[in-house]
């Protein structure tokens, strides 16, 4: 066949192309009634929180609306938002349209961390500095995402409490929801014992054993968070109590055991700095010029370490004490810095 003949059969009139009708899009699948069976790990949750966790992409206002209207049924009966679900309960959810999920973020790399304790209820790790405990605020992933990736068979892994990214030391992770609730209640009731090791510049005064100074969070230019001490009558004051014990003084520095009775953001860092003795290596509240000198001599980070954690085991009630020794990147005594 000639080229001319081939073109004869390949050509389609322009008008036919313009008038051609596109195939109609397939209708999206209509949402259907859901019947959710509560598992043991979800037992004890409020009904509203249980639904919010399962109905990803559904606005919270809509979740509360279908509960109030009676469209949500708990074991075939109406239930209030604050009703507690139990293992084996069946929750009927009316048809709801869930928002399309955005493209997933890159998966966190699987990683295990040094273990201090593990049983069927919880695990305790020695978190290294420089690792966030969870993703968010510009951080793609943290300890909890990496642990979940490393342990895909785990039914539940949840942070019991938090540590600053720059702080190393003992971190608790719950493996059962009942353990999570019991441990977090101990933190709220301040019945746990959280003691840190910190090094400050200068000789810490023996007379300062208790720091009871309210704190206030604020944002600096660029949106970064900072904390400062304020008067008790300040409208946004949050009470903060820190106990300080001198363990050792060497070479113009003091190694302190610091126990917090409240868990405020940057509490230890701000309280110690407010007494004129900032933590060495602290890049937010410290002595920046002195930090640079220490950096040249091997101290590459803030000298703050979650050394000891005491709590009651959520199953046995036994009082547990966990200790994380100082890591290699926190040398004590510190290298000497020649006077300026």
Helix (H, G, I), strand (E, B) or coil at 195: strand
Q: Is 39 a catalytic residue?
A: no
Closest residue by Cα to residue 61 from 72, 76, 79, 48: 48
How high is the pLDDT of residue 235? Answer: 93
Q: Identify the weakest region by mean pLDDT among 39-43, 220-224, 336-340.
A: 336-340
Q: Is the pLDDT of residue 25 over 70?
A: no
- pLDDT at 26 (0 to 100): 55
- What domains can you pick out in the chain, each with its CATH number? 34-93 (3.10.290.10), 115-323 (3.30.2350.10)
Please tell me the predicted confidence (pLDDT) of residue 5: 42
The mean-pLDDT minimum among 49-53, 121-125, 258-262 falls in 49-53
Out of 103, 164, 236, 282, which one is annotated catalytic?
164
Residue-wise pLDDT for 55-112, tens only, equals: 888 888 899 999 999 999 999 999 998 898 888 899 999 998 876 655 555 678 999 9
Q: Which residue has the higher pLDDT, 31 or 160?
A: 160
- Between 55-64, 224-233, 262-271, the lowest mean confidence (pLDDT) is in 55-64
* 92/138 Cα distance (integer angstroms): 37
Answer whether 314's CB lies under 8 Å from 179's CB: yes
339 has a pLDDT exceeding 80: no
Token pair belonging to 53: 């966790």
pLDDT at 107: 78
């Amino acid at each position: 066949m000639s080229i001319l003949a081939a073109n004869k059969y390949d050509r389609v009139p322009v008008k036919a192309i313009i008038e051609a009708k596109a195939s109609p899009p397939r209708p999206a699948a209509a949402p259907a009634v859901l019947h959710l069976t509560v598992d043991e790990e979800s037992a004890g949750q409020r009904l509203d929180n249980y639904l919010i966790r399962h109905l990803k992409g559904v606005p919270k206002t809509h979740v509360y609306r279908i509960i109030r209207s009676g469209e949500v049924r708990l074991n075939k009966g109406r239930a209030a938002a604050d009703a507690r679900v139990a293992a084996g309960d069946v929750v009927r959810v009316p048809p709801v349209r869930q928002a399309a999920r955005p493209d997933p973020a890159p998966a966190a790399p699987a990683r295990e961390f040094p273990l201090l304790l593990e049983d069927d209820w919880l695990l305790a790790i020695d978190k290294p500095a420089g690792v966030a405990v969870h993703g968010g605020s510009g951080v793609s992933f943290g300890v909890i995402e990496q642990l979940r990736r490393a342990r895909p068979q785990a039914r539940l892994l949840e942070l019991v409490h938090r540590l600053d990214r720059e702080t190393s030391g003992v971190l608790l992770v719950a493996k059962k929801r009942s353990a999570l609730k019991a441990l977090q209640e101990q933190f709220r009731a301040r019945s746990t014992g959280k003691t840190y090791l910190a090094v400050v510049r200068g000789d810490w005064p023996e007379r300062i054993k208790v720091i009871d100074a309210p704190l206030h969070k604020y944002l600096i230019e660029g949106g970064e968070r900072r904390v400062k001490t304020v008067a008790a009558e300040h409208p946004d004051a949050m009470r903060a109590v820190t106990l300080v014990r001198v363990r050792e003084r060497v070479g113009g520095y003091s190694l302190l055991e610091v126990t917090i009775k409240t868990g405020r953001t940057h509490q230890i860092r701000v309280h110690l700095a407010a007494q004129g003795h900032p933590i060495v290596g602290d890049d937010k509240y410290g002595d920046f010029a002195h930090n640079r000198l220490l950096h040249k001599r091997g101290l590459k980070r803030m000298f703050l370490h979650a050394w000891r954690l005491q709590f009651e085991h959520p199953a046995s009630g036994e009082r547990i004490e966990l200790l994380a020794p100082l890591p290699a990147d926190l040398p004590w005594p510190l290298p000497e810095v020649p006077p300026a």
